[in-house]
Amino acid sequence: MLTAINQFHKRMDLNTIRKETRGCTDKIFLNSAGSSLVSDAVFDQVINILTEEAQIGGYALAYANQQGVDEFYIETAKLLNCAPENISFQNSATDAYAKAISSIEFKAGDVILTTDDDYISNQISFLSLKKRFGIEIIRAGNLANGDLDLVAFEELVKQHQPKLVALTHIPTSSGLVQAAAEVGAICRKYNCWYLVDACQSVGQLVVDVKEIGCDFLAATGRKFLRGPRGTGFLFVADRALEAGLAPLVIDMIGGDWSSVDHYTLQPTAKRFEFWESSLAGRLGLKEAVKYANQLGMANIEKYNTDLMSHFRNQLKTVKGLNLQDWGSKVSNILTFTMDHHTTEEIAAHLRTHDVYFSIAFAGSAMIDFPKKNIESAIRLSPHYFNTAEELEKVVAILDF
């Protein structure tokens, strides 16, 4: 296994990647699922743009950097395998998600079909829609191994004809990778709107919107894409644009005020944007996406898969350590508990060794954690700038 990882070290040029990641050498940074380390390209871009902004002001700055803004759409389209016209810039994944949801005209009795593993804020949004419009929320169950039960899922689609199917590709508090493309095929067969939360998968593995077959896909900049905070994007498929879907609240970027009592919608996904945004953020995100594209998402995914499989296998040898990620396909999010140490004790121990991580609490995994009979877990989320050697150190640290 180590040999395979080293091979990909060469292919991924880990030395250069680590040299270009200023935050990765003085600590073991394993929190890319929270907010990752930006590359120097992103850092320089943000600093340069802010410096220019201080000299000429935000509007002249935007005028002078139009080409960079255009490149954001081109690079992001390349990342997701779609056209630039299907991409809109957003301030976060939640911002993107909220706009997508608001474009669907829910009425009483409409069904949202989702899963037990969908993200906390999405679940709260569904409950809010239920309160306001009287919609029904149905959650598809899992198989015994933790995978989404696709047979039951199709049955639920057939039976309830949901107005919207909502799936979180990789949940925030477990390593599970949900079957986004298989769910997409069901949505296409039964013709329901399909919204994917790809916040944790974009930048970590290949995310191809054509293969997934979604109508909307929401993502954030700061996690596995390694972009600045306060950035994200929303993919909107041609199907949704042609059907006239648009967010409930539209501003002068999303529409043209064509006469006193009328407006026309932007033909592209830009109808989901708001006019105001941070140019430093936008262009920083563009650099982050470009960096991922240059490394190649297939290379990143392969490296990550090998790294994590090695890490998981090693952690299995630590006495009393329980890996908590269920499912046949798992990702760069790794959660665990220990028999003889509380989450707080493990956290304190990791901190003394300069390991950066986060803690997942049951409040964010209201359905998943009770099934696992846990209230919290340590979440480690390595990325491609991490090495097998670093993770071996963490394994030794956890043997305490």
Interface contacts to ligand PLP, rule CB under 6 A:
92-94, 119, 121, 168, 171-172, 197, 199-200, 220, 232
Two structure tokens written together for 104: 């669907």
Task: Answer yes or no: are the C-beta atoms of 229 and 203 closer than 8 Å.
Answer: no
**Nearest distance, CB of residue 83 and ligand PLP, angstroms:** 24
Report the residue number, 17 or 96, with the smaller CB distance to ligand PLP.
Answer: 96
- The residue among 276, 282, 252, 242 whose CA lies nearest residue 103 is 242
Rounded to 5°, the CA angle 230-232-236 comes to: 150
Report the residue number, 8 or 336, with the smaller CB distance to ligand PLP.
Answer: 336
- The residue among 390, 340, 33, 388 whose CA lies nearest residue 205 is 33
Report the residue number, 200 or 331, with the smaller CB distance to ligand PLP.
Answer: 200
**Nearest distance, CB of residue 167 and ligand PLP, angstroms:** 10
Q: Write b or e for each residue in 277-297: b if 16 or more Cβ atoms lie within 10 A of its Cβ, otherwise e.
A: bbbbbbbbbbbbbbbbeebeb
**Nearest distance, CB of residue 120 and ligand PLP, angstroms:** 8
Report the residue number, 8 or 97, with the smaller CB distance to ligand PLP.
Answer: 97
Rounded to 5°, the CA angle 126-131-135 comes to: 60
**Nearest distance, CB of residue 318 and ligand PLP, angstroms:** 26
Two structure tokens written together for 123: 């679940």
**Nearest distance, CB of residue 260 and ligand PLP, angstroms:** 36
**Nearest distance, CB of residue 168 and ligand PLP, angstroms:** 5
Report the residue number, 171 or 175, with the smaller CB distance to ligand PLP.
Answer: 171
Report the residue number, 32 or 86, with the smaller CB distance to ligand PLP.
Answer: 32
According to the 3-state scheme, what is the secondary structure of 342-354?
CHHHHHHHHHHCC
Report the residue number, 199 or 289, with the smaller CB distance to ligand PLP.
Answer: 199
Report the residue number, 86 or 358, with the smaller CB distance to ligand PLP.
Answer: 358
Task: Answer yes or no: are the C-beta atoms of 24 and 18 closer than 8 Å.
Answer: yes
Q: Write b or e for each residue in 245-265: b if 16 or more Cβ atoms lie within 10 A of its Cβ, otherwise e.
A: bbbeebeebbbeeeeeeeeee
**Nearest distance, CB of residue 142 and ligand PLP, angstroms:** 17
Rounded to 5°, the CA angle 227-174-320 comes to: 125
**Nearest distance, CB of residue 94 and ligand PLP, angstroms:** 3
- The residue among 160, 202, 171, 393 whose CA lies nearest residue 288 is 202
